[in-house]
Amino acid sequence: MDQQHKVFVITGAAGTGKTTVANYLRKKYDMAKVITHTTRLPRANEKDGVDYYFETRSSMQKRHLLEQVEYDHHLYGSSIEGLENGWRHHQFDVIVLDTKGALTYRAKLGDQAVIIFLTVSHPQQLFERLHIRGDHPDAIESRINSCEYQRDLSLPQELKGQAIELVNDDWTMTQQKLDQLLSRYI
Ligand SMILES: Nc1ncnc2c1ncn2[C@@H]1O[C@H](COP(=O)(O)OP(=O)(O)OP(=O)(O)O)[C@@H](O)[C@H]1O
Ligand SMILES: Nc1nc2c(ncn2[C@@H]2O[C@H](COP(=O)(O)O)[C@@H](O)[C@H]2O)c(=O)[nH]1
């Protein structure tokens, strides 16, 4: 892996806008979105090979994963091949991870991983966003009550001073902050 290539790691709690931010960076800055693997079922509109590689617990074991986590009773993992495929044609990759995955990326890739931690001012907004997104009420309840969701509301101590903290209350302002950040890299 050469140092010119970077991976932008978008992390934070469910509903903070990680996928929205990743899609913005992909389109505006021609980043390659790294598709990760999960054993959870697809949501309405999610497609295999586009949003995730949907796996079983046994097929997941055959992947060459850089890291793997359990989140809300499902497995998630990302591969080194995923990163390298993106870098073959793009200077920057973008990936959406939980905070545990973000810590692993920072530990394994150092400055090559640019960590963006998303929050909102009022956690109640997150519940509303998941509802508006059309998530099933049982899925929202499970997510909000999971210890991983609670954990990801705060930036891990080890990432303090290392991650860029971004409050995503207002989408127009968030785009401006992202554009400002990207001007440091392009
Ligand atoms: N600044 C914002 N203001 C209002 N709604 C937003 C904002 N950013 C994202 N959203 C909306 O909130 C919902 C959740 O966003 P998104 O799916 O990007 O979150 P996420 O962090 O990837 O969630 P998850 O971890 O559950 O997959 C989406 O419907 C998205 O359009
Ligand atoms: N450490 C990893 N976290 C991942 C990966 N792929 C997704 N995620 C994170 O999991 C939760 C739940 O995702 P959801 O799509 O079910 O809402 C979220 O925080 C994602 O960012 C991965 O490969 N590794």
Give the C-alpha separation, 34 to 83, whole Å: 6
pLDDT of residue 4: 87
Distances (CA, A) of 83 to 11, 46, 109, 164: 17, 21, 11, 21
Residues contacting 20, CB < 8 A, separation 6+: 168, 171
Residues contacting 88, CB < 8 A, separation 6+: none
| Sign of the CA dihedral running 47, 140, 152, 56 | negative
Per-residue pLDDT tens for 10-42?
A: 999 999 999 999 999 999 999 999 999 999 999
Whether the CB-CB separation of 105 and 153 falls below 8 Å is answered with no
* Distance between Cα 118 and ligand 1 center (Å): 10
| Sign of the CA dihedral running 147, 16, 45, 95 | negative
Taking CA atoms only, the protein residue closest to ligand 2 atom 12 is 71
Residue whose entry in the numeric block shows the structure tokens 């990302």: 78
For residues 103 and 151, membership in a common domain is answered with yes
**Model pTM?**
0.97
Per-residue pLDDT tens for 143-176?
A: 999 999 999 999 999 999 999 999 999 999 999 9
pLDDT of residue 2: 61
For residues 96 and 6, membership in a common domain is answered with yes
For residues 79 and 96, membership in a common domain is answered with no
Query: Over 60: is that where the pLDDT of 1 sits?
Result: no
Per-residue pLDDT tens for 168-184?
A: 999 999 999 999 999 99
Alpha helix ranges (H) inside 46-122: 57-60, 80-89, 99-109
Task: Indicate the average pLDDT of the chain.
Answer: 96
| Higher pLDDT, residue 1 or 136 | 136
pLDDT of residue 44: 87
* Distance between Cα 96 and ligand 2 center (Å): 6
Q: What is the mean pLDDT of residues 72-96?
A: 97
Taking CA atoms only, the protein residue closest to ligand 2 atom 22 is 77
For residues 74 and 103, membership in a common domain is answered with no
* Distance between Cα 17 and ligand 1 center (Å): 3
The range of the structural domain enclosing residue 39 comes to 35-89
Cβ of 119 below 6 Å from ligand 1: no
Residue 6, φ and ψ in degrees, nearest 5: -130, 160
Number of domains forming the structure of the chain = 2
Give the C-alpha separation, 169 to 172, whole Å: 9
Confidence band for 59, pLDDT divided at 50, 70 and 90:
very high
Classify strands 37-38 and 74-79 as parallel, antiparallel or unpaired. Answer: antiparallel
What CATH number did the domain enclosing 51 receive?
Answer: 3.30.63.10
For residues 111 and 71, membership in a common domain is answered with no
For residues 99 and 166, membership in a common domain is answered with yes
Cβ of 39 below 6 Å from ligand 2: no
pLDDT of residue 3: 61
* Distance between Cα 118 and ligand 2 center (Å): 14
What CATH number did the domain enclosing 109 receive?
Answer: 3.40.50.300
Give the C-alpha separation, 165 to 38, whole Å: 26
